[in-house]
Amino acid sequence: MKSCYPKAVTKTLAFACVLLASCAARAQQNPNGQLPVTSFPHPYLFLIRDPLVLDELKLTSSQQQALAELNDGFDAGLWSMRNKSAEHIAQTIEQSTTKAKETLAKLLSAEQLQRIAEIERWTLGTRAFLGDDLPAELDLNDGQLKRIRQAMEESEQKLSDLRAESTSPEAQTSFDKKARALKTDEQKKILAVISPEQRAKWVELLGKRIDVAKLGRVKFKAPPLYGEGDWINASPMAAEQLEGKVIALHFYAFQCINCKRNQPAYREWHQAFADQGLVVLGVHTPELSSEREVDRVRQNARDADLQFPIVTDNQKQNWDAWGNSMWPSVYLIDKQGYVRYWWYGELNWQGAEGDKLMRARIAELLDE
């Protein structure tokens, strides 16, 4: 059958069908410094700090500085929201996104605002059809919106079932392949719902193609360190003492078996990289009431030969500042104070090689 669209439109639609597939996140780990922003329901706050997006916007130096300050101002709230209720998270993201868009409406040119809107549509993919802007832009009627919503709900249910079945690391490749097939099928159903004119308008609203697979290499300002607890292996450390250092900050509880299994890695990082400027910093946040006893934390550090600084966090100030929710967790912070990589749970769980990956990232950050 001959295409009813101009050749350029047909080519862009093909790109859209392939590239707008959502690569749903299956793990919280971030050892590669790239977040799956195409799976986020509201990616705007991540896009406005993404190097690829910023390059597309061709910002002036003053715009770059203003945007960096804006992003830094959001980070404390973004970190701390993570272990709160779904309602709190949604409210934080909505309020921050609204503020960001209001600020950028004054900071960016009309062309820059249009480009970031296009990139957001590429990132959202089919979810944009149920967003705030696209239904009106395409003049979608109630019947179309109902069928689009039904196609997306069916796809999401199948994806959820598939995710539940794919629990082992070996299933990752199979999961990704099947997930892409589900999204492609969803997109075909949606394209069948909208008219040729609406499809052409959609392509126009997408603008120039951006490789969404390369998005997500973002960084975040690390939360402040609350050091009011007891210190082990060090005098109380102020934030100024950590400036310009690469930091491996990890949360643990000394009776947690998963934490114990990570301790040799932390010890080896300290031994291998301390002379090069790495600070391994333990934050002991108790899970059990018996873990609140500082003398027992101190004894565990001796028994495990942990010679790096440890601060006790019995009031969970640091835990909540990071919005942490899992023992153990480790974050790598660069010399400028930005979080670049992290790992939740055991580093080498079922052959995951988290220790090897994070050691490579530590070396990378030390070389910067």
d(CA 344, CA 334): 18
End-to-end CA distance of the chain: 55
- Only one residue has tokens 């000394």, namely 254
- Only one residue has tokens 């097939």, namely 181
Which of 230, 212, 193 has its CA nearest to residue 310?
230
d(CA 268, CA 277): 14
Q: What angle do CA 232, 234, 236 make, to 5 degrees?
A: 95
Q: With b meaning 16 or more CB within 10 Å and e meaning fewer, what string describes 176-195? A: eebbeebbeebbebbeebbe
CA 90, 93, 95, 98 dihedral sign is: negative
Which pLDDT score, from 0 to 100, does residue 103 have? 98
Side-chain-facing half-sphere of 267: CA atoms under 13 Å: 13
- Tell me the C-alpha to C-alpha distance, in Å, between residue 49 and each of 21, 44, 69, 134, 275: 22, 9, 11, 23, 32
Residues of the chain with pLDDT under 70: 1-28, 167-172
Pairing of strands 310-312, 278-284: parallel
Which pLDDT score, from 0 to 100, does residue 170 have? 61
pTM score of the predicted model: 0.88
| SS3 call for 261 | helix
Backbone angles phi, psi at 293, to 5 degrees: -80, 110
Ordered alpha helix ranges (H), the chain: 7-19, 44-47, 51-57, 61-80, 86-107, 110-124, 134-138, 142-165, 172-193, 196-206, 239-242, 257-273, 294-303, 317-321, 354-367
d(CA 29, CA 32): 9
- Tell me the C-alpha to C-alpha distance, in Å, between residue 207 and each of 22, 29, 254, 294, 305: 19, 32, 53, 58, 57
Contacts of 283 by beta carbon, 8 Å cutoff, 6+ apart: 249, 250, 251, 252, 310, 311, 313, 318, 319
Which pLDDT score, from 0 to 100, does residue 168 have? 63
Which pLDDT score, from 0 to 100, does residue 351 have? 87
| SS3 call for 172 | helix
Ordered alpha helix ranges (H), 48-141: 51-57, 61-80, 86-107, 110-124, 134-138
Which pLDDT score, from 0 to 100, does residue 30 have? 92
Which of 249, 220, 225, 243 has its CA nearest to residue 74?
220
